Amino acid sequence: MLINSKGINVGSTFTFLKTIKSYVDQFNADYVYIAWDKKLTPEIANFRNTLTEGTYKGTRDQDRNKEVYASVDEIVKLTDLIGISNIFPGHLEADDVIAYLSKNLNGKKIIVSVDRDFIQLVNENVSYYNPIKKKVLDINNFQEEHDMTPVEYLLYKAIIGDTSDNIPGVEGYGKVKSIKLAKDVARYRNNEELPEKTVKVIKENIEKINHNIKLMDLSYGLNLYPDEGKLYKEQVDKHSCYGPDFEKFKEYCVELEFNSILNKFQDWKNTFDKSAKSELLAEYFKAFE
């Protein structure tokens, strides 16, 4: 907790800014996008709640990021001033925003999140970085790390389930059996010849697998609600029309008493000044997960 002389708790905002700067420095990112879970149309329930009859993410700790949630407006204002694009979903989630950006923005992208659902998005142009493991996962080391392809990984998740999102898996399937079944289902989908016994197991479980895929496949919601993608594009285009305003950022830091930022202001400016960079690397952040 960080309380300034006005008695305001600015700890979450300060920590958020420092964390973002550390990743931008680490990956030499030119363009940074923060995907938020705060919905622009919160009154509309999305398909995940409908498919799970309201139990989706029912086991999540709602108070885990309470301070950050309370600081959203402040964080958005500050990050806007240093040229970061804050993107909000309509009635989907930050996951869907990141899936859209991963597919539709040019250049090499890296997703920074502890949420392993984003592993399915890894391809030739998209990498994934887990801040806890401190390791980049890309298309070159994917097979070595997970013994499966990104497509098989999504099937694997649908089979084993996800306790953090309150999505039950196929009964009786742990990690080893789930990996094997995921590979079998991938071959089945490709119309490859399989033993009759294997086909029987797939058919017995395919309804459950397909149900979970709808919840876990980060392209499903965007296809179901095409207006969501249009909303994200509008926000991206809007942010591309203006650059950072470091003087206003500095004024706001003075107001909040972020002295450590002010003491190294040129370093902060160098980090987020796009005009001083030459390589293109887009970085995404998933907030609150």
Edge to edge, what strands does the sheet with 31-35 contain? Answer: 85-87, 31-35, 281-286, 108-112, 126-130, 135-137
Instruction: Set out the domains of the chain in order of their start, with CATH numbers.
Output: 1-145+226-289 (3.40.50.1010), 147-224 (1.10.150.20)
How many whole angstroms separate alpha carbon 289 and alpha carbon 240?
26
Nearest CA to 31 out of 89, 93, 104, 96 is that of 104
Phi, psi of 20 (to 5 degrees): -60, -45
Q: Please tell me the predicted confidence (pLDDT) of residue 288.
A: 39
**What share of the chain in percent tops pLDDT 70?**
85
Q: How confident is the model at residue 163 (pLDDT cuts 50, 70, 90)?
A: confident
Residue 204 identity (one-letter amino acid): E
pTM for this predicted structure: 0.85
How many whole angstroms separate alpha carbon 189 and alpha carbon 111?
28
- Measured CA to CA in angstroms, residue 221 lies from 48, 97, 212, 216, 218 at distances of 9, 10, 13, 9, 7
Q: Indicate the SS3 state at residue 105.
A: coil
Whether residue 11 is predicted with pLDDT greater than 90 in this model: the reply is: no
**109-148 per-position pLDDT tens digit:** 999 999 999 999 999 999 999 999 999 999 999 999 999 9
Alpha-helical runs (H) found in 218-280: 220-224, 226-240, 246-256, 259-263, 265-272
Tell me 285's DSSP state.
E
**179-233 per-position pLDDT tens digit:** 999 999 999 999 999 999 999 999 999 999 999 999 999 999 999 999 999 999 9
Token couple for 28: 């030499």
Whether residue 274 is predicted with pLDDT greater than 80 in this model: the reply is: no
Whether residue 77 is predicted with pLDDT greater than 80 in this model: the reply is: yes
Q: Please tell me the predicted confidence (pLDDT) of residue 282.
A: 37
